[in-house]
Amino acid sequence: MQSQLDRKPEEIEVTLLIYFGGKFTISTQYHRSYEIFSDLDLSNKTIPGEGEQTISLEVIDRYDADVLFVMNYSKEPESFFLENPLIASLDAVKNKRVYFVDPSKWSANGPIGVNRMLDDLFQYLPQTQK
């Protein structure tokens, strides 16, 4: 996968935003995505701590990255996110590098879950080329 990118993986910042039950969270180092992003040498903007770390959208700009992945457990329409001025102001959104990923794939554990997530990454990350 790394050979498919114009930039070195460590030069690509990624953030995983999780929306569930009316709350926004940023992935932590204990989320499966952190391990996968780290194994691929991607720069992963996470929030310190264990478990779910809820954030206010007023601080979402701290987690702006080259690529924003959104896990939308609440099945809100994409416009719910993209029309929010705080989310729309992110560089990842302005550069059309926000991807809505399937929570059932991205939260699955074990080798099958990891492979499903990697399949998505193969689909999205080559599009980060500058």
- The pLDDT tens digits of the residues spanning 28-62 come to 888 888 888 888 889 888 887 776 689 999 999 99
Q: In terms of C-beta distances under 8 Å and separation of at least 24 residues, what long-range contacts does 28-36 make, across chains too?
A: 28/52, 28/53, 32/106, 32/107, 32/108, 32/109, 32/113, 32/114, 32/117, 33/69, 33/106, 33/117, 36/114, 36/117, 36/118, 36/121
* Residues 21-34, mean pLDDT to the nearest whole number: 88
CATH 3.20.20.70 fits 2-128, yes or no: no
Other CB atoms within 10 Å distance of the CB of residue 78: 11
Looking at this protein, which amino acid is placed at residue 118?
L
**Does residue 22 sit in helix, strand or coil?**
coil
Q: Model pTM? A: 0.87
Instruction: Give me 97's structure tokens.
Output: 């590098």
Comparing 84 with 124, the larger pLDDT belongs to 84
- 8 — pLDDT class (breaks 50, 70, 90): low
Q: How many CA atoms lie within 13 A of 6 on its CB side?
A: 5
Domain ranges of the chain: 2-128
| CA angle, residues 98, 103, 107, in degrees to nearest 5 | 115
Q: What is the pLDDT of residues 86-112, one digit of tens each?
A: 999 999 999 999 999 999 888 877 888
